Each structure stands twice: as C-alpha cells, then as structure tokens.
Chain A
Amino acid sequence: METTRRDFLKVSAALGGGLALEFSFPLTAMAARGQTPAEVNAWVVIHPDDRVVVRIARSEMGQGTQTALAQLVAEELDADWSKVSTEFASPNEHIRRKRIWGSMSTGGSQGVRSSQDYVRKAGAAARLMLVEAAAARWKVPAAECIGANSVVTHAATGRRLRYGELAADAAKLTPPSNPPLRDPKDWKIAGKPLRRLDIPDKVLGKPVFGVDVVLPGMLHASIAQCPLFGGKLKGVDAAVAEKMRGVKKVVREADFVAVIADSWWRADQALKKLAIEWDEGADAQASSESIMKLLRDGLADPKLASARKVGDADTALAAAAKVIEAEYHSPYVNHATMEPQTCTAWFKADGTLEVWTSTQNAEASMAMAAETAGLPLEKVEVHKPMLGGGFGRRGAPQDFVKQGVLIAKAMPGTPVKMMWSRAEDMQHGYYRPASLVRMKAGLDAQGNVSAMQVGIACPSILALLRPEAIKDGVDFTAVRTLSDMPYGIPHQKIDYAMRNPRVPVGFWRAPGLQNAYYRECFIDELAVAAGRDPLEYRLAMLKPGDKNRLVLEAVAKAANWGGPLPAGVHRGIAVSDGFGSYTAMVAEVSVSNKGELKVHRVVSAIDSGYVVNPDTCRAQSEGNIAFMLGATQYQENTVAKGRMVEANFDQFRLLGLAEMPKVETVLVPTGGFWGGHGEPGALCVAPALCNAIYAATGKRIRSLPLKHHDLRKA
C-alpha cells in the first residue's frame, strides 16, 4: 500500500486532485511519474525497477488477508518479497472488465480460501510469461529458463534478466490457461510468518480508514436513525439546529435525519438540538421478553422445518436408559466495530458518483450506491479505505452506503462524509440473532448417545439478507453445528423454527456459533450424566480419521488434559468445525468464593488444511478468543419499547487487556483442503469456558452472557 499511496499523493498534488485519484488511477499516477509499469495480468503489475504490485480484491479489516493473498501470488510468481506491495482493485474497473477479480466479498473466512486457487494461478501464469519473454529475447527454449526471486536465468549461459526488464514484453503474451501450481511443501514465501504489509503504516497512524477520508471542500454529517425498528420519520423541527455554527443543511429521509456541517462535532451538536417526531410503527412494544416468548412459542409449533433427520429419534428416546434434556439461550449481540459505520459520497459535476466506505464487499457497496443514486454502475466508483474492524457488519447490509449517498445527494457537487455516533452503531446493528434451543438426548446403558432431538428457534439472517439461500424453510446459519454434528449419533431429529422479529440480524463473526456453545455444553452434560471424561466421551463418538478428532487430540496434548493443574484451576473442552476449518479448545479457569471468574489460559488447536501465514493465523486465534471472552461474559443487546437499550461501551462491555488470558495456539494443518481463520477460532470459546466453569463450580451455564449468573459454587 505504502508505495502506491506515495505514487498517488505525488500525482494528486501535481494534478490538483484529491484522494479520488489516489485510489482510482494507480497506473495513470505511475505513468505520470515517467515510469511505465506493466500489467502482466489483472493481479500482477511490475515496474521497470522490479517493484511488484499485487492487486487485492478482498477487503483488509484486520485479519491480514491482504498480506496472505500477496504471499500466495508472490510465491507462484517467485518474486523478491522485499519488492512486493499491494493495491486494492478498483470496483468500477472490476465491473468494466467483467468482474475480472472474482469476488470482492470479505466474509465467511473466505478471503484467502476462496481465492487461493485463482490468485496462485495468476502468479504462476505471470512467472511463465516472464520466462517466455526472456526465452524469446535470448532465443532459447523457455524450458531452459527459470524465474526465481524476481530474475529469469538461463542456466546454460548464466544470462539473467530482471522481472522489471521483462514485464512489458510479458504483458503482450497470451497467458497460459492452466499453469501448474507449486506443492505447498515447497513454498518459500507462502506458509511463512512474514510480516504483514499494513502494519508499519498502522503504528504511525498513517492508513486512511473510512472515517479518515478528506476531500476538497468536504463537509461532515451526523445521523439520527429512527430508534424503533421499522419506524419512520414523522416530522422535524430544525429551527434551532439550522442556526447553529457551521451547519449547512438538515436532511430528512424516510427513516433518518442528518445534519451536514463543516465539522462532525458541529453536525452532531446540531443533531442533538433537532426536535424529531418518529412514527413508531407496529412494533413499539417489542422487548427482549416478547421476543423470547416468540421463540418459545416457535419451539411449540407442531410443524417445524426439518434441518436433519436420521433414523427414528422419537422411538430411540422412548427406549433410552436415560434421557437428558436442557434448554439454552443466547442474546442479540452487536458487532461494535471500533470504527463506526461511515460513508463519504460525492456527486460530481460530470454526473458520476464517488463513494468511500469501509466495506467488506465493495461490489455490494457499489450496487447500493448506484441504486440509491439512480445511476448505472459504470457511473459509480467505490474506494476502499482500511476498515476499522468488520466482523460481518460491513458486508451484506449496506445501510450506511444508502444513507451516505442520500445525504450527499442533498449537496450535489460537495463531498460529504457521514459518520455514525457510537450510539447509532449500538442501536442500529445487524445483530447476532438471539436464539432459544431445546435439546433432548437418550443414553444407552453404557452412557452412549443413542438419540438426539433438537429444536432451534432463531431469527433468520438469510430471510433478511439473502432469502434465496433459504432451503425448505431452513436457514443453514441458524442450524449449523447442530444439523451437521460429526458425532456418531444413530438417531437425530433437528428441527428449526424460523421466527423473525423486526430486530435486524446479520452475519456476526462465525454466524451460527451460538450453536457450538449449545451443542458442546450439552455434550458435556451428557458426559457428566454418563460418568465419563468429556474428552474421552467426544473421541468415542468421532470416527477414526475425522479431523474433529485430530484437533481434539492436539488440543488435549498441548493443554496436558488430565494432567495436574494449580489449586482451584479447572478445565473445559470443546470442539467444532466450521468455515472450512476444524478447531478444538481447552479453557482453564478459576472461580473465587465471591463468584469472580478468572480465565488463566486458553489453548486452541486449528486444522485449516494449509496455513499461508502462521503468525497472522495465530493473531486471529488470539483475536477470536478476546472477542468471544467479551461476548460470553458481558455482551447482550437488550430490546425494550421496540428499540435497543445499550448505547455505548459503558453498557456493552468489551474484554479489557487486564482480563486477557494466556493464549496458546496449535496450528495442525493436515493439507488437502483450505479452511479459514477469521472465524473458526471463535467457535469453541463459549463452550470451553462454560464447561470449565461447570468443572470449577458445578454450575451449568445455559444462557449468556455470564454477567447474569451467580458463579459462586453450587
């Protein structure tokens, strides 16, 4: 990024432009500097001085996707890593070039695993083209030449040409259609803990996040959305606000009001002086209790959608030696990205619209901007700054883009940057769905699980954001981990009650992970009922060769499961696959006589098939643990009078540094598949933690967050 940005800044200054140029026209910018970098293919640009710019289609929201993708391309290109930088591919160019960069969506832990094949092929193809260009110049067979470390060498004669000397010729060649890829065991750049490319700038405060966009003559906007889900704006008295210093305009839309001013604070101060009247809509009395009742009634529905049916669970339960039953619940939880939602939009005199937004899916942002503005896609450009966190909030829902565009539309010709206050972010999320699950298991005389019956009542994310993905009334994100258990349970009946209150729900880090909490705590209950060790109990239900088994064994070994612990410290274990990977976790906790929980250590094992950057994978493991320790202990978004109660971090507590346990991550990649890292490490935190609390206190935690529970020994 750094090199590219400097290129841009220089040329922007020369042309009197703004940041627009910085992101839009990298090649133009470089050409203006008297250099002619060559686009060997859509992913690989090589400068005469050998600098390699790898185009990145996915967003960078902190997981290191940008660096991992560059590693994969550089590996196959066999580039000198010290000369590699990246730039984000332009969404507008993407559309004009028939979606040449594939998916721009960054979610579902897909950034690396879903693009690894074609980005590696792009790197390999570029290397073959550079080799071919050198061979042609030397008039020797290409097979006698090798491209390595940004140089092509003809072994027989010792002749050498740098990639930078060959790129222009290579760019003219026909790309090979299916270049062979390296065996990961031969990787030199991929698979190594190379330093992330974005970090040096980040410690200096240099990166441009969405909220940092600055454009000539730009104004700022603060927004107040209808606090009631589904409510509308009835009227606004803006007399006081309009006279306040710096205020330029009050924008009234169907379900929000915004103030545009010359600084964000002035806009926000004026916003607070608006007398707004809302039409509260049909759900003004909704509360967490009414939603819980809706879910509970859902479970009683005699006609539930079937998410899985194996054997005859009813008969098997009737014949069971012992039947265990439990009900679990978890609340709505907000993403609470540190950077609030933001969008800068600029309706330009030439009829085009430019948008800058922290987005996990630039194409979705572009579609929303175009639709809102009533412009064809070709007239819209979306610039992708750095994201101050994403966790799923900035992908499918593009509400902030719609708002940013509507606000800027009120000031044509002037760029307007909208930023949400934290309260807006807390109260207008696309929350992790609250859900209620009832599980019933039959054990045979030996304590083995013969049958399991599960009812899941959960609002549907897909119904709101991707209705076409619902199959036979089942939203797979609401039932996963329970509908696809790896355990050998002969009779299973897994049913789903879709109940959709107006509270918007969305893809929160590892969507559906509450089911891992339910399942793995319930399995723990069954192990206790059977009088068996929780690790041994799980292993006994997993087939030899199952990778869930492998990660369980790896985590047990790393955590010395069954070995001695300091006085008062207890362990819990959990396993889950998801997002392409297999994970298992051991949490070590103590609970004081006063009921105070301390998490001492968390050991996490992950099999993602391959590991592109072990250090960033470890960082994701640490991050997932912190994210989920906060959620499990403290976080919930409560509904009262049709709106969200919590407004800021004083009511929605994040984990603090002082509470961060020691983390040990065991990477056990077994090869042959590509799993993710952004989310899988989150799956086992709540169950491992709650199972450890049970071991410490005898208290079974069947609802979250923990703050509502008295953890003193039972």
Chain B
Amino acid sequence: MIKLNVNGKPRSVDVEGEMPLLFVLRDHLGLLGAKYGCGIGACGACTVHLDGMPVRSCSLPVAQAVGKKVVTIEGLSAKGMHKLQQAWIDHEVPQCGYCQTGMLMSAAALLAAKPVPTDADIDQAMTNLCRCGTYTRVREAIHAAAKPTAKKVGA
C-alpha cells in the first residue's frame, strides 16, 4: 500500500512504487484533471504540485510522492476558484482545454513564487505545450491574475 496526501486528504493505493503519479491519480484515484500528453515530461499536460512545486506527474514514480503534498487541478482551490481560473475565464484562454489544467498548475506555482511575474518570468516558467496555441491569452491571464485587483472567487 502506498500512502499519499492528495488535495489535503490521505489516500491509500495498492500500486507499484514505480507507477508514475499521473496514472495513480487518473486510473486509481479517479482524478482525471491531469492529462497524459507525452509520457516523457515534455508537454506538461500532466502538471501537478508536489509540495507546491510544479512537477510532470507522467514521469514521477509515485513512490517519490510519498510524504509530500500532492495538489491537482481538482484541489487548486478548496472553495470556488483560484484567481488564475477566473482570469482564464475572463480572457477566454482555453480552446480544446486538454493542456489547460497543466497550464494552470504551472501558472499557479509561478504566482506562488513570484506574485507579480515579468514576461521573462512567464517565459521561463510556462514551458507547457499547447497545440491549439493559446499562449497569447495564457500570458495575458497570468498578468491579469497578478494584479492586486484580480478577482478572487472563493478560497
């Protein structure tokens, strides 16, 4: 049994330690927000937080998540919406939406580390790939969420 802390709750799963966290979340814990895109940590569709840091869960053996706090898109905001999610709505960021949960998790980790990021900070942190090409709006939405006046819905 592997014991995890996911979105603030203890979870136990009977899986191999080398199973990537992504598949534990998706196929064993029913958390489907993080997506499989490449399996090699290149695209970031699987991004979740591990102790607040963005990680590519497709390439992280679940054993390495033991004793750490895993947060997925489902747990990004305990009540309602993170200000980034609101900004994403305001700027109509997603197209197909498949990569967007990973985008949001990367952006949330960026804002936690740098509340008012520069364009260069965004360039560096946002290495997630989007095939629909939503990048212009991702950048705009991050800047909007970083403004002190950004709407904060719920937690």
The answer to whether A203 touches B99, judged by C-beta atoms less than 8 angstroms apart, is: no
Q: Which of B109-144 contact A (CB under 8 A)?
A: 122-124, 126-139
Query: Which A residues touch B100, using CB under 8 A?
Result: 202-203
Q: Which of A266, A623, A650, A656 neighbours the largest number of chain B CB atoms within 10 Å of its CB?
A: A623
Interface of A is mostly: loop
Q: Which of A249-302 contact B (CB under 8 A)?
A: 262-266
The answer to whether B133 touches A195, judged by C-beta atoms less than 8 angstroms apart, is: no
Query: Which B residues touch A619, using CB under 8 A?
Result: 92, 95, 134, 137
User: When A263-B23, A649-B43, A656-B127 are in contact, do A338 and B99 touch as well, CB less than 8 Å?
Assistant: yes
The answer to whether B45 touches A338, judged by C-beta atoms less than 8 angstroms apart, is: yes
Question: Any chain A CB within 8 A of the CB of B94?
Answer: yes
Query: Which B residues touch A63, using CB under 8 A?
Result: 95
Question: Any chain A CB within 8 A of the CB of B40?
Answer: yes
Query: Which B residues touch A655, using CB under 8 A?
Result: 133, 135
B27, B34, B42, B139: the one contacting A648 at CB < 8 Å is B42
A667 smallest CB distance to B (angstroms):
15
Q: Which residue of B lies closest to A659 (CB)?
A: B135
Question: Any chain A CB within 8 A of the CB of B148?
Answer: no
The answer to whether A199 touches B89, judged by C-beta atoms less than 8 angstroms apart, is: yes
Question: Any chain B CB within 8 A of the CB of A422?
Answer: yes
Question: Any chain A CB within 8 A of the CB of B11?
Answer: no
The answer to whether A198 touches B39, judged by C-beta atoms less than 8 angstroms apart, is: no
**Contact mask B90-109 → A, CB, 8 Å, 1/0?**
00111111111100100000
Question: Any chain B CB within 8 A of the CB of A245?
Answer: yes
Question: Any chain B CB within 8 A of the CB of A658?
Answer: yes
User: When A200-B89, A202-B94 are in contact, do A338 and B133 touch as well, CB less than 8 Å?
Assistant: no
Question: Any chain B CB within 8 A of the CB of A51?
Answer: no
Question: Any chain B CB within 8 A of the CB of A539?
Answer: no
Question: Any chain A CB within 8 A of the CB of B51?
Answer: no
A390, A622, A627: the one contacting B136 at CB < 8 Å is A622
Q: Which residue of B lies closest to A647 (CB)?
A: B40
User: When A220-B27, A340-B36 are in contact, do A386 and B133 touch as well, CB less than 8 Å?
Assistant: no
Query: Which A residues touch B99, using CB under 8 A?
Result: 338, 388
Q: A interface, how many residues as a size bin? A: 35 or more
B33, B34, B39, B92: the one contacting A421 at CB < 8 Å is B39
The answer to whether A264 touches B23, judged by C-beta atoms less than 8 angstroms apart, is: yes
User: When A61-B96, A338-B37, A338-B43 are in contact, do A203 and B89 touch as well, CB less than 8 Å?
Assistant: yes
Question: Any chain B CB within 8 A of the CB of A387?
Answer: yes
Question: Any chain B CB within 8 A of the CB of A711?
Answer: no
Question: Any chain B CB within 8 A of the CB of A81?
Answer: no
Q: Which of A606-633 contact B (CB under 8 A)?
A: 615-616, 619, 622-627
A583 smallest CB distance to B (angstroms):
16
The answer to whether A199 touches B94, judged by C-beta atoms less than 8 angstroms apart, is: yes
Q: With the chains together, A400 CA to B133 CA distance in Å?
A: 25
The answer to whether B94 touches A422, judged by C-beta atoms less than 8 angstroms apart, is: no
Q: Which of B27, B30, B89 neighbours the largest number of chain A CB atoms within 10 Å of its CB?
A: B27
Question: Any chain A CB within 8 A of the CB of B32?
Answer: yes
Question: Any chain A CB within 8 A of the CB of B19?
Answer: yes
The answer to whether A626 touches B133, judged by C-beta atoms less than 8 angstroms apart, is: yes
The answer to whether B97 touches A198, judged by C-beta atoms less than 8 angstroms apart, is: yes
Query: Which A residues touch B131, using CB under 8 A?
Result: 336-338, 389, 391, 627, 654
Q: Which of A75-134 contact B (CB under 8 A)?
A: none
The answer to whether A205 touches B98, judged by C-beta atoms less than 8 angstroms apart, is: no
B144 smallest CB distance to A (angstroms):
13
The answer to whether A650 touches B40, judged by C-beta atoms less than 8 angstroms apart, is: yes
Chain B interface: which of A27-35, A178-186, A209-217? A209-217
B146 smallest CB distance to A (angstroms):
16
Instruction: Mark B residues whose CB is within 8 Å of A.
Output: 15-16, 19-20, 23, 26-28, 30, 32-40, 42-43, 45, 72-74, 81, 85, 88-89, 92-101, 104, 122-124, 126-139
**Further 6 A-B residue pairs, CB within 8 A, beyond A264-B27, A265-B20, A656-B135:** A205-B73, A265-B23, A336-B131, A338-B132, A389-B131, A649-B42
21 A-B residue contacts at CB 8 Å?
A: A61-B96, A203-B81, A203-B94, A263-B27, A336-B131, A338-B43, A338-B130, A339-B35, A388-B35, A388-B96, A422-B40, A626-B132, A626-B134, A649-B37, A649-B129, A656-B127, A657-B122, A657-B126, A658-B123, A660-B133, A663-B136
